[in-house]
């Protein structure tokens, strides 16, 4: 038996040795020839993970991504080959040109086609490139118009990202909605739109946008990471565990993807996986921002690497002295309430009970929270006069609740009704225009009373809120439709 065990162990070691990058690459090529693109991409991803600087593997994976319709991911890999590996592979420009054409980015497609033609005028794809350039060449006027359109798109993307990062969320949402309407396969714009919705407290629309990306671009890493973050803040613990395990089997190639994956996993408490990817970036000489060092220190500390965590944090304090964020282990770590609705209800009840110190602690806390929540808390503390610059959504929520408070003071102060009210408001924000707070407040009150057996009439409710019975009926129908 001992001999059998020894032989079995030796055999396992031999098999493991043989399963290097080339092993998975050739299995991936076999799956590709059988047109099983999904299996081929997964096998070659494993090969690339084992041999990350093999340009043949990377380019093949990029071609498969292109055939799967993952044009942006494909171009990111071709860029990695050209920029990081500095390989002379003119065909990368050819494939990038086709990818950009599929995305509707014709100026970029023309540039890449010209780059291929310059680098390899008699190359394998010279005839295809000539045809593509003829197709993209609309004459002087048309070309200028195309150049203008593409430059405009780049400007719009940069502007939307700046709006998102500066907290101008309504403006960011409007611009990103326009971009996704004009470029329905530009997944980076969708992912930024999902974040804009989430930061503005519109979790329903944020998730809808993520689902749309994953339906059309299965396996999109940024979308999966965003969805994991949304579930974490909504305390969908089972889903967080499921998504974390799914992402544990992902092997990102690009630095940006490793950063996104590592920071996301560290945020949701999977410090082992977060540390794995962030540490790999650090060892590769990646020069990150203060957020990168924060999550690297947090994941190191969370895996018991205290000395390394403290070293990283001292480095962050030296390189980014303007950041006043405390060390990760010094921040509050209480679990968040289960959902955004419950958090809003808790803030409101604290305000109704005069617990200003609790609300001030929310604003003072350094933990990540949506700007929408912070704006709502500021309104609860200071009212409309003392909280300039808040979003329309926060103002709508505050005004609607205050109207309900005035008319339904006692019942609104209960946890059950308060949470239900915020649940309805969240659905309104996801499905309707945030205006006419009186009508919405009246409809919410009527639906609540009817559901709980309280006797009232539409005429009586409308009079309390200063609207007509016809208007009330219209908004009640909208709430019924929204909540179905």
Maximum average pLDDT range among 276-285, 365-374, 428-437:
276-285
Residue 222 to residues 41, 44, 49, Cα–Cα distance (Å)? 18, 20, 19
Residues 158-182 pLDDT 10s: 788 888 877 788 888 999 999 999 8
**How high is the pLDDT of residue 142?**
44
Determine the Cα angle at 237 with ends 234 and 240, to 5°. 90
**How far is residue 420's CA from residue 132's CA, in Å, rounded to a whole number?**
57
Q: What does R_g of the chain's alpha carbons equal in angstroms?
A: 27
Sole residue written with tokens 């502007």: 159
Cα pseudo-dihedral 41, 47, 49, 53, rounded to 10:
-110
Share of the chain above pLDDT 70, in %: 87
Q: Answer yes or no: is pLDDT of 365 > 80.
A: no
pLDDT band at 335 (very low <50, low <70, confident <90, very high): low
Taking the mean position of all CA atoms in its chain, how far away is CA 173?
Answer: 13
- CA 359 and chain centroid, separation: 28
Task: Report d(CA 141, CA 321) in Å as an integer.
Answer: 51
Structural fold of domain 169-330 = 1.25.40
> Can you give the pLDDT at residue 340?
78
User: What pLDDT, on a 0 to 100 scale, did the predictor assign at position 148?
Assistant: 40
What was the pLDDT predicted at 414? Answer: 66
Token pair of 287 as six digits: 């020069």
d(CA 198, CA 187): 17
Distance CA 342, CA 386 (A): 25
Find the mean pLDDT for residues 274-282: 91
CA separation for the pair 180, 223 (Å, rounded): 15
Domain ranges of the chain: 18-145, 169-330, 340-483
Name the packing angle between helices 203-216 and 415-431 (round to 10°): 50
**Which of the four pLDDT bands, split at 50, 70 and 90, describes residue 2?**
very low
The 10s digit of each residue's pLDDT in 79-89 is 888 888 877 78
- Rounded to an integer, the average pLDDT of 298-323 is 89
pLDDT of 385: 79
CA 60 to chain centre: 27
CA distance 31 to 253: 21
pLDDT tens-digit map of 244-274: 999 988 887 777 888 999 999 998 889 999 9
Q: Which residue has better confidence, 141 or 395?
A: 395
Look at residue 13 in the predicted model and tell me its pLDDT. Answer: 45
Q: Show Cβ contacts of residue 359 under 8 Å, excluding neighbours closer than 6 positions.
A: 347, 350, 351, 377, 380, 381
Is the pLDDT at 1 greater than 80, yes or no?
no
Q: Give yes or no for residue 12 having a pLDDT over 60.
A: no
Provide the pLDDT confidence category of residue 76 given band limits of 50, 70 and 90.
confident
Q: Decide if 210 contacts 196 (C-beta within 8 A).
A: no
DSSP secondary structure code for residue 51 in this structure: S
Block residue for tokens 């089972």 = 238
Q: Render pLDDT for 17-47 as a digit per residue (tens, 0 to 9).
A: 445 788 888 988 998 888 888 888 888 888 8
- Name which residue leads in pLDDT, 409 or 254: 254
178 and 194 in contact (C-beta within 8 Å)?
A: no
Cβ–Cβ under 8 Å, residues 92 and 59: yes
Say if residue 212's pLDDT is above 90.
yes
Angle 439-441-447 (CA atoms, 0-180°, nearest 5)? 100
- CB of 478 closer than 8 Å to CB of 432: yes
Rounded-to-integer distance, Cα 97 and Cα 103, Å: 10
Least confident of 2-16, 26-40, 428-442: 2-16
Q: Does the structure show a pLDDT above 90 at 295?
A: yes
Determine phi and psi for 249, rounding to 5 degrees.
-95, 10
Cβ 393 vs Cβ 429: under 8 Å:
yes
Band (143; pLDDT cuts 50, 70, 90): very low
Q: What is the pLDDT of residue 153?
A: 72
Q: Of 164, 170, 153, which is closest to residue 191 (Cα–Cα)?
A: 164
Mean pLDDT of the chain: 81
Q: Which fold has domain 18-145?
A: 1.25.40
Nearest Cα residue to 94 out of 69, 61, 59, 68? 59
Per-residue pLDDT, averaged over 397-417, amounts to 77
Which tokens sit at 101? 């054409």
Per CATH, 18-145 and 169-330 having the same topology is answered yes
- Does pLDDT of 226 surpass 90? yes
The pLDDT value recorded for residue 68 is: 83
Read off the pLDDT of each residue in 235-248 and give the average, rounded to a whole number: 88
Q: How far apart are CA 406 and CA 113, in angstroms?
A: 65
Which pLDDT score, from 0 to 100, does residue 368 have? 45
């Amino acid at each position: 038996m001992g001999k059998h065990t020894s032989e079995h162990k030796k055999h396992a070691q031999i098999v493991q040795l043989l399963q290097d990058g080339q092993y998975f690459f050739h299995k991936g090529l076999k799956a590709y020839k059988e047109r099983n693109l999904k299996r081929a991409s997964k096998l070659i991803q494993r090969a690339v993970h084992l041999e990350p600087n093999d340009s043949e593997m990377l380019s093949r994976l990029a071609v498969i991504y292109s055939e799967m319709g993952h044009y942006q991911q494909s171009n990111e890999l071709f860029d990695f080959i050209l920029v990081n590996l500095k390989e002379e592979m003119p065909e990368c420009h050819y494939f990038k040109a086709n990818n950009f054409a599929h995305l509707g980015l014709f100026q970029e497609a023309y540039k890449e086609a010209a780059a291929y033609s310059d680098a390899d005028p008699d190359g394998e794809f010279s005839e295809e490139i000539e045809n593509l350039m003829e197709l993209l060449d609309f004459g002087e006027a048309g070309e200028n118009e195309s150049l203008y359109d593409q430059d405009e798109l780049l400007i719009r993307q940069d502007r939307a990202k700046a709006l998102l990062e500066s907290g101008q969320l309504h403006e960011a949402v409007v611009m990103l909605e326009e971009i996704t309407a004009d470029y329905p396969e530009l997944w980076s714009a969708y992912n930024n739109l999902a974040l804009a919705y989430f930061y503005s407290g519109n979790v329903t629309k944020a998730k809808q946008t993520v689902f749309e990306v994953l339906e059309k671009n299965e396996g999109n890493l940024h979308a999966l990471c965003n969805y994991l973050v949304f579930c974490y803040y909504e305390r969908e613990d089972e889903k967080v565990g499921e998504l974390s395990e799914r992402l544990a089997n992902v092997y990102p190639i690009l630095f940006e993807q490793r950063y996104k994956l590592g920071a996301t996993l560290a945020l949701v408490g999977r410090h082992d996986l977060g540390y794995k990817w962030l540490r790999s970036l650090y060892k590769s000489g990646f020069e990150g921002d203060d957020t990168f060092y924060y999550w690297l220190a947090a994941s190191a500390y969370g895996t018991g690497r205290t000395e390394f965590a403290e070293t990283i944090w001292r480095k962050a304090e030296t390189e980014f002295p303007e950041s006043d964020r405390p060390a990760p282990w010094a921040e509050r770590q209480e679990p968040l309430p289960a959902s955004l609705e419950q958090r809003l209800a808790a803030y409101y009840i604290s305000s109704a009970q005069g617990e200003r110190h609790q609300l001030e602690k929310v604003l003072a806390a350094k933990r990540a929270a949506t700007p929408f929540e912070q704006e709502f808390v500021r309104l609860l503390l200071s009212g409309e006069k003392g909280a300039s610059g808040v979003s329309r959504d926060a103002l709508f929520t505050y005004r609607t609740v205050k109207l309900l408070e005035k008319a339904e003071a006692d019942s609104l102060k209960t946890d059950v009704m308060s949470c239900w009210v915020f649940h309805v408001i969240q659905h309104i924000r996801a499905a309707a225009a945030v205006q006419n707070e009186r009508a919405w407040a009246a409809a919410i009150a009527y639906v609540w009373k009817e559901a709980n057996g309280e006797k009232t009439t539409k005429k009586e409710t409308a009079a309390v809120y200063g609207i007509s019975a016809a208007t009330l009926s219209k908004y009640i129908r909208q709430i019924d439709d929204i909540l179905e």
